[in-house]
Structure 1
Amino acid sequence: MLLLLLLAACESSSPPDAPAQPDSAAAEPQNSHQRMVRELEAIRNQARIENVYFEDASLAETRLMLSGLDPHAPPGLRLNLLVELADASRRLGKNSDAVDALLEIHRLLQDSGIALSEKQQLALLYETALTWLRLGESENCVNCRTGDSCILPIRPGGVHQYPRGSREAMKVFLQLLEIDPDNFSARWLLNVAAMTLGEYPDSVPTEFRVAPERLMSSTEFPRFHDVAQGVGLKTINCGGGAVAEDFDNDGLIDILTSSWDPGGQIHLFRNRGDGTFEDCTEAAGLIGILGGINIVQGDFDNDGWTDVCVVRGAWLGNAGQYPNSLLRNVNGRGFEDVTFAVGLGSERFPTATAAWGDYDLDGDLDLFAGNESGPCRLYRNDGGQSFTDVASEAGVENERFTKGAVWGDVDGDGRPDLFVSNLGADNRLYRNLGNGRFEDVASQSGVTSPQWSFPTWFWDVNNDGALDLYVGSYQVGIEHIAREYFGLEREAECDGLYLGDGHGGFRDVAAEYGLTGVTQPMGANFGDLDNDGYPDFYLGTGYPMYDGLMPNLMFHNRDGTAFDNVSYAGGFAHLQKGHGIAFADLDNDGDQDVFIQMGGAYPGDAFGDVLFENPGFERHWLRLKLVGRTSNRSAIGTRIRVTVSAPDGSRTIYHSVGSGGSFGCNPLTAQIGIGEAERIDLLEIEWPASGDRQSFEAISADQFLEIEEHADAYHVRQMPRFTFRSES
């Protein structure tokens, strides 16, 4: 009762072909932009009627039917309407109304003598407790948010000022557990409710209590603090994408966010360089560019200004046949939607992911679009003026429920290969054959799992020069998370971590590296928190249902040999649903801060974005902006090798230029930690299209360098350091 099917969209694996749209490849960019705005407005209006997540017509209709119901109508009819009212109210964030409807259901059942089965009774209690808990979240974490809100273990600053919601939730969860003491989901949420009241662990009966040590990191780690509110990042949205990038080429990293809500406005926050951000959405011409579960950046026309692809329609099956967008950056002044002008607007598929890469090494970025319930698309870039779909002849249509896609040269032949993660089916590793075609070698390479894959990326986890692969498992259910907190055996699959051998082979080392837990990630990305030269990673967790309350997870790389969960010690264990993630030095102090776009699937599960400020580790770094000339201007796919001297000897650090994971984008400017070294002995750069290799020696640490392909020298960019501060 009151539960929506999580992956109803997955049930239709063979939908009809996406409807073709009139070809507008010759349209002027401005006409393309206006056309997209009109279409997105129509989608927004239609979603309010038909979209199972966002429609509000049924709520008004149910209220009307209840108000006009004959007092002598059968109790069962009133009961059904109250169930619909509670469900719709909570979905739309009207939590007080949802609570009232549920309380009325309890009264009606008592007065009418309608008997529920034990299963129905437990479901009603669970949903009642959950709705009370959500009321407490909205009254406190959303409307009275502090830097400690919703971060486990909850500190005094995050304790609810308005305790009624969580207190009532605890009462109902305890009622449920009297009947079903082995309901681990209810046990976990009971503990969460107690934490929000500042009464954990004492107020939780011993037999239902999560041991406090389960909420502690096994290693010390400095605490990062959420400063989003103070620096001007104040939007509240449903889940969506995030890109951290210097969109106006001033050397400062800006932030672009999206929301999967069909009526959710894309937002551009310009970094002012004084510790605050300015919402420049209107000035950038983005008003009316709506929706977008994911966004990814790349300079498709090689004009030196970074553009953005927006993908839409994921999780909705045939109902998600929305257009994607290509936003052209107009000299740093703003964006225009050129989707129709470049020939990308002729099809509609539900799309969750996209990835830029120069697969044919002709010097411009091609685009892979990962569709969920239709063939994937590989759009060949024809000189920055138009795109041609070549997926069929290239052999990369996938025809599975695509959730993530990343490019990387896994076999060292200089050509970018393509990994595609699939939900509920084997993953694909498409080896680039160099003749415009690809071969799926996932089985031979040993990377078909997990079976419920979602976010993914290539990285060099142990600095051996060979690309490794991370694949997150999205086998959802709060019961899987709860079982781990109570020390029970895992019943869901864990994430995949594959070490590459540099020749196309991989070995699963997840257990060896300590990644044996259930994570259920959506948004995810990696970066180097402590500038030690080894990549760490952050997982935004959760799923659409309201009981998907679990901490987001940060893992620190221990010298390339294992990962430590530092979520609790570092202040990263946020309970709200995490989506697009970006690691970026947003205050120019030499270390990477962490931005995460927050919010769930329903309007009632919206939340504000989070910016974790890096407290600093007193280690050294090098920042590189690479400018392609023969290769793509963004330098995506360029390999960087940094050799430094350390007290324990020489070491080499490897980096590939890209935006990181498949759900959230780091800046294309490379930020490389070099540990205790005070200079770079040798910097080597290998460009993808030209094969050109550059090398530079004896470079002082802690500098921002700009290097052009084929150049004999580098340019030092002087950038002021500043401190995050509150808006005046």
Structure 2
Amino acid sequence: MPYVLPFLFLFTISASYAASLSQQESHRKMVALLAEVRAQNLDDNPYQGEGQLRQLEDQLQALPDAAPVQDRIRLHFRLGIAELFLGRERRAIDHLTAAEEMLAGQHSVPAQVVNEIHFRLGLAWLRLGETQNCVLNPNAEHCILPIRPGGFHTLPEGSRQAIPYFQAVLDNTAAEERLRLSARWLLNIAYMTLGQYPEGVPPAHRIPPEAFESQAAFPHWVNVAPALGLDTFSLSGGAVADDFDSDGYLDFFVSTSDLAGQLRFFRNGRDGTFADRTEAANLNGLLGGLNLVQADYDNDGHLDLLVLRGAWFGEHGQHPNSLLRNAGDGTFCDATFAAGLGQDHYPTQTAAWADYDLDGDLDLYIGNETTDTFVAPGQLFHNQGDGTFADVAPTAGVDQYAHAKAVVWGDYDGDRWPDLYVSNLGQPNRLYHNQGDGTFADVAPTLGVVSPRASFPAWFWDFDNDGHLDLFVAAYSATIADITAAHLGHSVSVEQARLYRGDGQGGFADVSQDRHLAQPTKPMGANFGDLDHDGFLDFYLGTGDTDYAELMPNVLYWNQAGQRFVDVTFASGLGHLQKGHGVVFADLDHDGDVDIFEQMGGAYRGDGFADVLYENPGFGHGWLAVEVVGVESNRSGIGTQLRVDVVEGGQRRSLYRWVGSGGSFGGNPLRQYVGLGSAERVAQLVVFWPKSGREQVFAEVPVNAIIRVTEGRQQLDILALPAFKFAVEHPKRAEHHLHK
């Protein structure tokens, strides 16, 4: 890591020096540092650099004429993979074809190698077809499984050329079963893109059409991002929707892990359009970022943003995070160094805000990534109330050394003190119980919530409206081989998600099987919200892996009154095949139902894709949107509990929400949306403030309204924020920047 050491020398600064920096100096320092990160990582970054490619080219060039053919095959194969990951499909195909041609007469080459070359050739051609059609000539129906006529490829070369190679793998009985399952999946997708599924697929390899049917009828959603200019093209990244200019309407931040990728800010025009205000907001030069988390950290009434960087890069990911302070005038300033958050740079993509000591200020936990070659402790930054933070993780007992992929706060035992759950990839997960004295104790083994071991996104929520926080932890272990097997009705032996039902007293029960959550999935970005406004929370998983082969549909689960979840992915039109990252549930047009935004794109330089925004078609149910403003508590109201008592069909029932941004990868608005089903009225709204332990009760709250509750004020405010329709065409589409 020679390129990292100068950064550490120049930019690792003492807390006292950080406090002396002005925020303007902090901003300039960050822009300069990110430019250095970009420049010095161009070669060595394992996902975006060209260093490995050049090494392979040198090895091939230096190979003597008398070298074994197997060595030449191996280098051409590896060069083909490297070129493909850089987005150079034609070059990849040339190298892989060269490797294939050298197989002739080489009887000593293992069948596994032959099959892998054929599989990767099929994948390279399929990827070329995706680039030519879905990337360079996109429309809203591309890559949505099952692929419908609007998503058929008009340039068929890629899929046509891919099919014989996948067929070759399937025809080779010596091929490993998991590779055969993967080839079968991609073969069916290739035929779909040509409009030849199911009839054109050889019967022996056809995945039956009923495998692509949902378990229940559900309205079809449409991707409107291209029409709104929100189809930003980038690599994997984060997304947040919230009101960043205090006009009551929801704006957008989107980021990308591309080291050269600009953080983007879109302001809601309140007329169905969104305007790119990145430059005007003083954000130019703030590059990279895999995840985003919002909060008003300094209690000034303006929502700020945390940008997380370096995840998956290991020792190459020692990039600084950014704390962007909202000045309240439409601009942001990077206050990271001034706030004391810039002393150490660890790879991360997960963090969460909470007032863990109930002093009225939001504190911050950052889950960093320890690997076999790099050590990175978890960090708990205590808010000192003056705009600065101090890392107290060691004394608090939460400085774990693990590969953290999700951190979430929630008061699972109802004692008012926020507790911390950490999802660790490949290691036991942690549930740190807040002991109320500034320290925490890991109770995950005792409570039986350490699994799944291969875990990623997680969140606290109340899925069954019993008033107790439950815990969802997704498994990150399935592949397209597992998903193919499941679609064929075969048993699948792979770790699966856990849904832990809380009892409110500090106990959990695993109800994953009972609630029908046993399907294999591999989510990264994920979030939840009430899509049909029946009062119960649904959720959406953005799935995938770094390998181009892992073309799996993102998954939508529909909550059936807390009794079970139904997979409605294919009926909804949300089964996007590209890599899903930051997921947001938000009512962007103020029509009363939440839409879904998803940041798309993979990790490798050649795996960019356009973001999507699915418009909710509406379900005809009532709703209530609640904003809370803390006075004694933190201004954002994070951690505040809401209970909405409704009368429906003459019966009274209660609906529960906790103020926060939702799941661990993607930021919902802090404004809480509560579906009311067919309720005639809201009998009362109860707001519980954990800091003080006090409740506020409001009777006969209006339905189909956006309201604001201010701590200690007995009059709620009804916000006049008219709905609008999304613009059919945006005056300027987001530009697509390809790495070719």
Distance of 1:62 and 1:370 partners within structure 2: 35
For the pair 1:142 / 2:145, whether they are aligned, the reply is no
What corresponds to 2:736 in structure 1? Answer: none
Distance verdict in 2 for CA 1:332–1:446, change over 3 Å: farther
AA aligned opposite 2:12: Q
> Is the 8 Å Cα contact of residues 98 and 131 (structure 1) preserved in structure 2?
yes
AA aligned opposite 1:265: Q
> Is the 8 Å Cα contact of residues 540 and 554 (structure 2) preserved in structure 1?
yes
> Is the 8 Å Cα contact of residues 305 and 332 (structure 1) preserved in structure 2?
no
Distance verdict in 2 for CA 1:278–1:114, change over 3 Å: farther
What corresponds to 2:574 in structure 1? Answer: 572
Distance of 1:362 and 1:300 partners within structure 2: 13
Distance of 1:73 and 1:626 partners within structure 2: 71
> Is the 8 Å Cα contact of residues 300 and 384 (structure 1) preserved in structure 2?
no
What corresponds to 1:158 in structure 2? Answer: 151
**SS in structure 1 of the partner of residue 390 of structure 2:** strand
Distance verdict in 2 for CA 1:530–1:356, change over 3 Å: same
AA aligned opposite 1:727: H
Distance of 1:351 and 1:555 partners within structure 2: 28
For the pair 1:410 / 2:401, whether they are aligned, the reply is no
Distance verdict in 2 for CA 1:679–1:58, change over 3 Å: same
What corresponds to 1:300 in structure 2? Answer: 297
Q: 1:363 pairs with 360, 364, 372, which one? A: 360
Distance verdict in 2 for CA 1:349–1:697, change over 3 Å: same
For the pair 1:204 / 2:201, whether they are aligned, the reply is yes
Write out aligned runs for 1:676-687 (5 A).
Answer: 676-687=678-689
Distance of 1:146 and 1:86 partners within structure 2: 29
For the pair 1:252 / 2:249, whether they are aligned, the reply is yes
Deviation, structure 1 residue 108: 3.6
**SS in structure 2 of the partner of residue 604 of structure 1:** coil
Write out aligned runs for 1:669-708 (5 A).
Answer: 669-708=671-710
Identity, % of aligned positions = 48
Residues 622-647 of structure 1: per-residue CA shift (max 9 Å, x gap): 11111110000000000000001001
What corresponds to 1:529 in structure 2? Answer: 531
For the pair 1:188 / 2:182, whether they are aligned, the reply is no
Distance of 2:362 and 2:663 partners within structure 1: 17
Deviation, structure 1 residue 77: 6.0
Write out aligned runs for 1:304-453 (5 A).
Answer: 304-373=301-370, 374-453=376-455
**SS in structure 2 of the partner of residue 370 of structure 1:** strand
AA aligned opposite 1:21: T
What corresponds to 1:5 in structure 2? Answer: none
What corresponds to 1:464 in structure 2? Answer: 466
AA aligned opposite 2:702: S
Distance of 1:646 and 1:705 partners within structure 2: 21
> Is the 8 Å Cα contact of residues 142 and 152 (structure 2) preserved in structure 1?
yes
**SS in structure 2 of the partner of residue 569 of structure 1:** helix
Q: 2:227 pairs with 206, 226, 230, which one? A: 230
Deviation, structure 1 residue 222: 0.5
Residues 443-492 of structure 1: per-residue CA shift (max 9 Å, x gap): 22221111111100000000000000100000143222221122111110
Residues 86-121 of structure 1: per-residue CA shift (max 9 Å, x gap): 2222111111221122223223443x8585211110
Deviation, structure 1 residue 61: 6.6
What corresponds to 2:124 in structure 1? Answer: 131
Distance of 1:298 and 1:287 partners within structure 2: 21
What corresponds to 2:40 in structure 1? Answer: 46
Distance of 1:67 and 1:316 partners within structure 2: 29
For the pair 1:594 / 2:607, whether they are aligned, the reply is no
> Is the 8 Å Cα contact of residues 648 and 681 (structure 2) preserved in structure 1?
no
> Is the 8 Å Cα contact of residues 77 and 117 (structure 2) preserved in structure 1?
no
AA aligned opposite 2:384: D
> Is the 8 Å Cα contact of residues 26 and 342 (structure 1) preserved in structure 2?
no
**SS in structure 1 of the partner of residue 20 of structure 2:** coil
What corresponds to 2:5 in structure 1? Answer: none
Deviation, structure 1 residue 688: 2.1
How many residues are paired up? 713
Residues 499-543 of structure 1: per-residue CA shift (max 9 Å, x gap): 100011000001000001111110000000011110000000011
What corresponds to 1:727 in structure 2? Answer: 730
Residues 225-272 of structure 1: per-residue CA shift (max 9 Å, x gap): 001000111321111111111110111111111111222211111111
Residues 348-390 of structure 1: per-residue CA shift (max 9 Å, x gap): 1111200000000000100000011121000000004210111
Deviation, structure 1 residue 587: 0.7
TM-score between both structures, scaled by the size of structure 2? 0.93
Distance of 1:371 and 1:138 partners within structure 2: 34
Distance of 1:231 and 1:151 partners within structure 2: 19
Q: 2:278 pairs with 273, 281, 286, which one? A: 281
What corresponds to 2:4 in structure 1? Answer: none
For the pair 1:31 / 2:28, whether they are aligned, the reply is no
> Is the 8 Å Cα contact of residues 74 and 99 (structure 2) preserved in structure 1?
no
Distance of 1:499 and 1:73 partners within structure 2: 61
Q: Which 4+ stretches in 1 moved above 3 angstroms?
A: 57-81, 112-115
Deviation, structure 1 residue 72: 8.5
For the pair 1:646 / 2:639, whether they are aligned, the reply is no
> Is the 8 Å Cα contact of residues 353 and 370 (structure 1) preserved in structure 2?
yes
For the pair 1:215 / 2:220, whether they are aligned, the reply is no
Distance of 1:218 and 1:113 partners within structure 2: 49
What corresponds to 1:667 in structure 2? Answer: 669
What corresponds to 1:243 in structure 2? Answer: 240
AA aligned opposite 1:200: Y
Deviation, structure 1 residue 63: 5.8
> Is the 8 Å Cα contact of residues 109 and 115 (structure 1) preserved in structure 2?
no
Q: Give the superposed CA RMSD.
A: 2.0
Distance of 2:681 and 2:591 partners within structure 1: 17
What corresponds to 1:508 in structure 2? Answer: 510
**SS in structure 1 of the partner of residue 631 of structure 2:** coil
For the pair 1:103 / 2:97, whether they are aligned, the reply is yes
> Is the 8 Å Cα contact of residues 364 and 384 (structure 1) preserved in structure 2?
no
Distance of 1:454 and 1:297 partners within structure 2: 20
What corresponds to 1:13 in structure 2? Answer: none
Deviation, structure 1 residue 598: 0.4
Deviation, structure 1 residue 690: 2.1
Which sections of structure 2, spanning at least 5 residues, go unmatched? 2-7, 371-375, 732-740
> Is the 8 Å Cα contact of residues 232 and 277 (structure 1) preserved in structure 2?
yes
Distance verdict in 2 for CA 1:85–1:50, change over 3 Å: same
**SS in structure 1 of the partner of residue 42 of structure 2:** helix
**SS in structure 1 of the partner of residue 423 of structure 2:** strand
What corresponds to 2:12 in structure 1? Answer: 21
**SS in structure 1 of the partner of residue 606 of structure 2:** helix
AA aligned opposite 1:287: N
What corresponds to 1:12 in structure 2? Answer: none
What corresponds to 1:177 in structure 2? Answer: 170
**SS in structure 1 of the partner of residue 333 of structure 2:** strand
Distance of 1:215 and 1:75 partners within structure 2: 44
What corresponds to 1:14 in structure 2? Answer: none
